[in-house]
Amino acid sequence: MTALSMDPRDRLILALDVPDLESGRTLLDRVEGHVGLVKVGLELFTACGPAAIEIVKERGVGVFLDLKLHDIPATVAGAVRSARSLGVDMLTVHTGGGREMLARAADEAGDRIRVLGVTLLTSLGAEDLAPTAIAGTPEQVVLTRARLAAEAGLGGVVCSPREVTAIRGEVGGGLAIVTPGIRPAGSATQDQKRAATPASAIGDGSDYLVVGRPIRGAEDPASAADTIVAEIAAALGSR
C-alpha cells in the first residue's frame, strides 16, 4: 500500500483528464518534477486502456487509477486484481456498492494498492440527493459511507473538502483522505458544488488533493502546480 509521504509535492494529485495519450504526454512533460501523483480517470482509461498508466509510470510518478468501481463483489474483486497487475498505487471503488463489495476489494488489494472509497461525488449538492433516493444531507451520507469504508478495511476515502473535518472526527487518522473539488483562491468552481482552497482542505485534515483544471488550463502548468504545493506546505506547517 502506498505510504503517506510527508513531501508536500507528493500530496498533490494531478488529474490527467485528457482525451488521448498525446495530450497526456504533453501535460506530463510540462509538470514533470512538480507533482507527486497522477490520476488516470474514466476518460483517458476508456480511450487508451493500460497505455494511459504506462505513460505515467515511465516518468517515475505514482498512479492513481480513478474508475470508481461499482459492481457485484466478485466482479470488483477481479477488477482490483487486474489493477494490481498494472502496478497502480491507488484505486477507487464506490462505497455505494456495499460492505461485501468493499471488503472483497480491500482483501484483493492487500498491501499493494491503497483502495479508496468514493463517498459522494463533489458535483452533487443537497438538492441532488432526493431525486436519486439518497436520504440525508451530503455530510450525513459521506460520514455513513466513510464509516463503512473503514469497517470494510479500505485504505482511505474520497470526499469533498467540506466533509474532511467531520470524517477526521469520526474515524480518526486511520484512513487517508483524498479531496477533489480543489480550487485555488479566485478560481472558478465549474461543476464542483462542494469545493475549497488547497490551504483550507489541508488545514482541515486532508492528506491528498486532486487538482485538474486549475493546472491543466494554466498558461504555465508547472508554476500553477508549484503554487498549490506551496499552499500545501504552508498548511501542513500549521497543522
**What pLDDT, on a 0 to 100 scale, did the predictor assign at position 189?**
47
pLDDT in tens, 64-118: 999 999 999 999 999 999 999 999 999 999 999 999 999 999 999 999 999 999 9
Reduced to 3 states (helix: H, G, I; strand: E, B; else coil), residue 22 is helix
Class of the domain covering 8-238: alpha beta
Distance CA 28, CA 14 (A): 9
192 falls in which pLDDT band (50, 70, 90)?
very low
Distance CA 159, CA 145 (A): 10
Q: Please, are residues 185 and 198 in contact by the beta-carbon 8 Å criterion?
A: no
Is this model's pTM higher than 0.85 or not? yes
Distance CA 220, CA 50 (A): 28
User: Is pLDDT at 53 greater than 90 in this prediction?
Assistant: yes
Reduced to 3 states (helix: H, G, I; strand: E, B; else coil), residue 183 is coil
**What pLDDT, on a 0 to 100 scale, did the predictor assign at position 150?**
96
DSSP 205: T
Maximum alpha-carbon separation in the chain:
45
Which is higher by pLDDT, 43 or 186? 43
**What pLDDT, on a 0 to 100 scale, did the predictor assign at position 119?**
96
pLDDT in tens, 103-132: 999 999 999 999 999 999 888 889 999 999
Residue 135's contacts (CB-CB under 8 Å, 6 or more residues apart) are 129
Q: What is the mean pLDDT of residues 159-174?
A: 90
User: Is pLDDT at 186 greater than 60 in this prediction?
Assistant: no
Distance CA 94, CA 199 (A): 27
Give me the chain's average pLDDT, please.
92
User: Is pLDDT at 15 greater than 50 in this prediction?
Assistant: yes
**What pLDDT, on a 0 to 100 scale, did the predictor assign at position 187?**
59
Residues with catalytic roles: 68
Which is higher by pLDDT, 183 or 36? 36
User: Is pLDDT at 155 greater than 50 in this prediction?
Assistant: yes
